Amino acid sequence: MVGPALVAVALLAGVALRLYTRSELWLDEALTVQTARLPLSAMFEQLRHDGHPPLYYLLLHVWMKLFGEGNEAVRSLSAVFGIATLPLLWVAGRRYGGRVVATAAVVLLATSPFAIRYSTETRMYSLAMLLVVAGWLLVRAALERPTLLRLAGVAVLSGLLALTHYWAFYLLASTAALLLLLWRRGKPAALRVTLAMVAGAVLFLPWLPSFLDQAAHTGTPWGRPERPTNVFSISFTDWGGGPNGEAQLLGIGLLLLVVLALMGRALDHRRIEVELGTRPHARPEVFVVTSTMLLAVVAGYATSGAFASRYTAVVFPIVVLLAAFGTSVFADVRVRGGFLVVLALLGLLGGVRNAATDRTQAGQVASYIAAQGRPGDVVAFCPDQLGPSVSRLLPDSFDLVDFPDFSDPHLVNWVDYAERQQSVGHQDFARRLDERAGGHGIWFVWSGGYRTVKGTCQAIAADLVELRPGGHAVVASGSQFEHMWLYQYGSG
């Protein structure tokens, strides 16, 4: 067993890493902040153009009123959710497999690069993880004794999950399917828990018109659907911390532990038997995780929706719980402890990388423009997805516009996105941009790595050179996740 001192070190390191990252806000974070800072009526309207449910934005709106809009302030809400999940997962681990599983679960989650990343990001994913663990505990408690209070808790948490991220629909559907199967097999309480989950839809009803509008007009134009095999392989790699060697080892370790949770049985201190019939204790959680992922894949193909591993936040805590249960298969406590220590070290390496890595070039680009630009200069963004992270850092003295419609680059309108991006020619945009700047300079922030523009932004950069000879790159595109070029063009 892992000693108390090592558990304490893992917890302290995990908490510390949830409280710091040096990076500026990238697109999703900056757009979230810009949306949440709006008055409530305007915020709900912007969300209708954004494609997400409102709960996290409402909480962040209140949080920013109390603590401000600086990077640390807006990210600290996710850190609170991430840290609060740790003791809750300890309780879940105790219920699932005793003290050994509880210890393993907390160590794995505390040092998880995936959990650390989304505890340092101004997005809803750490909230989703917290609600999932709370929901798991309440569903288990309600199955044992379906009191009115416990059933009401299941209903409320189901509604809150649906209002946090739409992938929760797949988790709730998979859980309901499992509960109905249990009911058919003679567990009467399962039907009552299922009905409680359905009752939670009442909380979602006020948002339903906006959701239907989003479903018809917004989506994920930045990516394509993924095959099931890709979804599972990408997920385990990103649960380990991303595309690098340590992350792949950690992902393989988590996968091995989940397999042991489902199929492993210790014969003695040196041998483990793999039973193809699977272990009943782990079947429900494996069913829910697998069904959620498969439903999401099917829905992605049906709606042309892209996959991003961050969406798996709705199942990740259950995967951690399964992996923790898998450690109980090791009969030798030294082997169990050693395996956990290795995974924790791999995880902390990913957590340190998260703290030290810039997610965006926005800070570099904005600093250059602020230092070299003059009041009245036009700053244009192509595509508009580059606008929120950079414009957040620029003074108000610049005239900020985006491609294709010269709208406010602090926000992105995802309604019929691909069609709007492709409706404007590069020469027309460059000409209008030149006319708008007049005697002022132009700063053009662009990137060619976005599906919807396909060479348009680069063509605009070339068109502007013809209109304003001497224009050139002053910041080169880097290796950050959100990378971009900055071109400077003199006054007309």
Q: Per the structure block, which two tokens stand in for 480?
A: 């950050």
Q: Per the structure block, which two tokens stand in for 46?
A: 């912007």
Q: Is the dihedral of CA 325, 329, 334, 339 positive or negative?
A: negative
Prior bond of 225 cis (ω within 30°): no
CA distance 7 to 13: 10
Tell me which DSSP letter residue 405 carries.
Answer: T
In order, the DSSP letters of 27-84 are HHHHHHHHHHTS-HHHHHHHHHTTT--SHHHHHHHHHHHHH-SSHHHHHHHHHHHHHH
Residue 2: the pLDDT is 60
Residue 306: the pLDDT is 84
Q: How many residues does the chain have?
A: 492
Strands 378-382 and 399-402: parallel
Please count the CA atoms within 13 angstroms of the CA of 165 that sit on its side-chain side. 22
Residue 492: the pLDDT is 62
Give 82's strand partners: none
- Between the two ends of the chain, the Cα-to-Cα distance in Å is 71
CA distance 270 to 169: 43
Strand order in the sheet with 472-475: 399-402, 378-382, 442-446, 485-489, 472-475
Closest CA to 249 of 239, 259, 240: 240
Closest CA to 71 of 14, 30, 114, 104: 30
Give 475's strand partners: 486
Closest CA to 446 of 385, 393, 372: 385
Return the exposure string of 468-487: e unless at least 16 CB atoms fall within 10 Å of the residue's CB, then b: beebeeebeeeebebbbbbb
Is 411 within 8 Å of 30 (Cβ atoms)? no
3-class SS of residue 488? strand
3-class SS of residue 283? helix
CA distance 92 to 194: 20
Give pLDDT < 70 ranges for the chain: 1-2, 222, 492
Residue 276: the pLDDT is 84
Query: What residues contact residue 233 under an 8 Å CB cut-off, 6+ apart?
Result: none
Residue 271: the pLDDT is 86
Amino acid code (one letter) for 409: P
CA distance 26 to 46: 18
pTM: 0.95
Amino acid code (one letter) for 86: L
Strands 272-274 and 264-266: antiparallel
Residue 185: CB atoms within 10 Å: 8
Nearest-5° Cα angle at 436, 411 to 368: 60
Query: What residues contact residue 71 under an 8 Å CB cut-off, 6+ apart?
Result: 24, 25
